[in-house]
Structure 1
């Protein structure tokens, strides 16, 4: 079934509003960690300059830094202003809590009076869900709660279903290591929830804070123990219900990946990075803060997969907001099509060989005109196969720009 219309979804994550924020205006108190006077205005200027707009705004956790009441109050105000700049209606600002949104002092206080687990969970999120903020208002408009089993909220709109999991609900000061978790009994209940709400006439997006898969870490040598427990069970469940897209935060280094497990349905996963936290000094300034805009264009008539692309920008102190391709994260990532490497290579070789029969120079948009599915295979798989095919048929791969963007790719028949 085709989509009602194309949908644009803006994504920010890991704001850490408070004493770890990058902008002075993103902390209710004076902080030595801030390096930008007016971070919000820099973002608003960027949105205006690029003429950006969205239908929805997703915030995938760690909204605050210490789960303080004043941090959430400021975060609500900042996020609403971000939504307004993008043309997003207030009720379409959707989110999940992260581990920094858990109020640890409240946990300790309730343990001291021997409160039961359910009461402690409610206390954890009292500041987050305080009345009058965008978080409490929009939390109440969904089905389910972040502080009640199975800790999943579903928002249903005419064109999109958002499924939001609280992956931090079991975290607290006594947990070691601190990481996300989903229990088997939750998966059983969530299975029924997804059965009732997933619709192929809409885009179905699952958001959570913790990463549901282990990523290669090129930055730090120490082991990453924060990947969520039972993540494999969650991914199999999302595959079973043919979830269109997954968004998460937690890791401040952005990633874009395709996950295919034994159940066969591909899931595209965006790790959003951090929107406004001061980043670890060990990154040496090489990783920026990130903003993403996902565009869901349509569904493939053949397999029903949602198709589109993710545009990404990064904020660096010396440059402010720039296209992310300048710092080694593709500024545009395609999604929605998949073939085995061998089949994709055969497809590309056939297209390029036929194109060279008409001209010695072929631009990537010309190949897309011959086969529109090329707009939706992942960047990495396309580039790998293009390199192999170019060697096979004697072609040079050139890019008309500083970044290796597929739209700027030119293939030249090698006459040597």
Structure 2
């Protein structure tokens, strides 16, 4: 079955140390080469890659590489993303622009808003002149790399007019052209869309007021051309959900911030995150499903698995199984059979759909096992299931 692995870094908000004299706004300094390994989220990530032997097919960045359109920090991050590509053995960097990457408020006089982005080497957003030109001219590009079709959307396209700064957008013109392009390209095994702003409602903690203009229309266009995983940033609050729709509704991954500031109520539940997403086609119907492994960054300690510390987005999550949770609970109970105790890893081999549950569905399955089948789930110190057994 086709599968891909994506290393995802969103909302880095890198900036020079001098731009943050109080040390409260930036966690990734673009002039921080002399820092210790675990004082810098980027150098800590290289340590994690070596320590865990991580690899990926693509490095994905859904925007806000820099903070307040700092040109030097933008060049720093672009260079680092390509260094990560080499460290992970990846084929390509898949990146898009965030609102902090566009000088929409005229910070640098004499430059047009995306000038720093246009001057990046290799070329941004991708080192293919035809695709890059299409991105800037039409607000997106679409390409197939191996078995994967990528849509990379510029949801900040209207920010250059300097009167649409509060939300992202996809224009009706772009949607009409995208429909035609998707038909012309034909189907692909795996479809991934990358954008900065959220096209799907993000209502938690009052974070969803600036939803992308025409976001649902974009999701509807995608649903008509296959099963899609949509990856976005901007909110600094990780979440995985199925979007609205009655057919092939896209799965939407809202990324946590790699090294940006976490503010307000979100600071009580979120940290800085690095995500490793594995997507594949599974089952007789070739459904798009996947697993997400995430780490949080702790100054002085580096990137660590955090278990169930964030209960709505644990360090292991999934997507793709949309069937009945009660049916899956019954199958788990049947697989347990007469065993009094079974390792969770063994049950995953018998019922692999357990790995493809969003956190809410996963918790519902665990609850059904406890309430309807008298099965206890024991957890390890990090709060993730380690074994299950029948209640005596």
TM band (smaller chain): 0.7 to 0.9
Aligned to 2:83: 81
Q: 2:315 aligns with which of 317, 331, 337?
A: 331
Which segments of structure 1 move beyond 4 Å, counting only runs of 4 or more?
105-110, 281-286
Q: 1:21 aligns with which of 15, 23, 26?
A: 26
Quote the Cα distance in structure 2 between the aligned partners of 1:185 and 1:136.
Answer: 21
Aligned to 2:234: 250
Aligned to 1:207: 194
Aligned to 1:52: 54
CA 1:198 to 1:211, structure 2 compared with 1: closer, same or farther past 3 Å? farther
Stretches of structure 1 that go unaligned for 5 or more consecutive residues are 30-35, 111-119
Verify the 8 A CA contact 2:93 2:126 in the aligned structure 1: no
Aligned to 1:159: 147
Report the count of equivalent residues. 380
**Distance apart, 1:144 and its partner CA:** 5.2
3-state SS in 2 of match to 1:241? coil
Moved more, 279-288 or 78-87: 279-288
**Distance apart, 1:239 and its partner CA:** 1.1
Aligned to 1:345: 326
Aligned to 1:146: 135
Quote the Cα distance in structure 1 between the aligned partners of 2:44 and 2:108.
Answer: 39
**1:87-115 Cα deviation digits (max 9, x unpaired):** 224xx0111101111122559978xxxxx
CA 1:9 to 1:363, structure 2 compared with 1: closer, same or farther past 3 Å? same
Aligned to 2:171: 183
Quote the Cα distance in structure 1 between the aligned partners of 2:367 and 2:268.
Answer: 31
Quote the Cα distance in structure 2 between the aligned partners of 1:259 and 1:370.
Answer: 29
3-state SS in 1 of match to 2:156? coil
**Distance apart, 1:309 and its partner CA:** 0.9
Which of these two proteins has the greater Rg computed from alpha carbons? 1
Verify the 8 A CA contact 1:181 1:228 in the aligned structure 2: yes
Verify the 8 A CA contact 2:96 2:125 in the aligned structure 1: no
3-state SS in 2 of match to 1:236? helix
TM-score under structure 1 normalisation? 0.82
1:370 aligns to 2:350 (yes or no): yes
**Distance apart, 1:131 and its partner CA:** 5.0
Stretches of structure 2 that go unaligned for 5 or more consecutive residues are 20-24
**1:300-355 Cα deviation digits (max 9, x unpaired):** 322x222321111111225321114353031111222211xxx3303422440x34
Verify the 8 A CA contact 1:144 1:152 in the aligned structure 2: no
Verify the 8 A CA contact 2:275 2:294 in the aligned structure 1: yes
Quote the Cα distance in structure 2 between the aligned partners of 1:376 and 1:136.
Answer: 31
Verify the 8 A CA contact 1:107 1:172 in the aligned structure 2: no
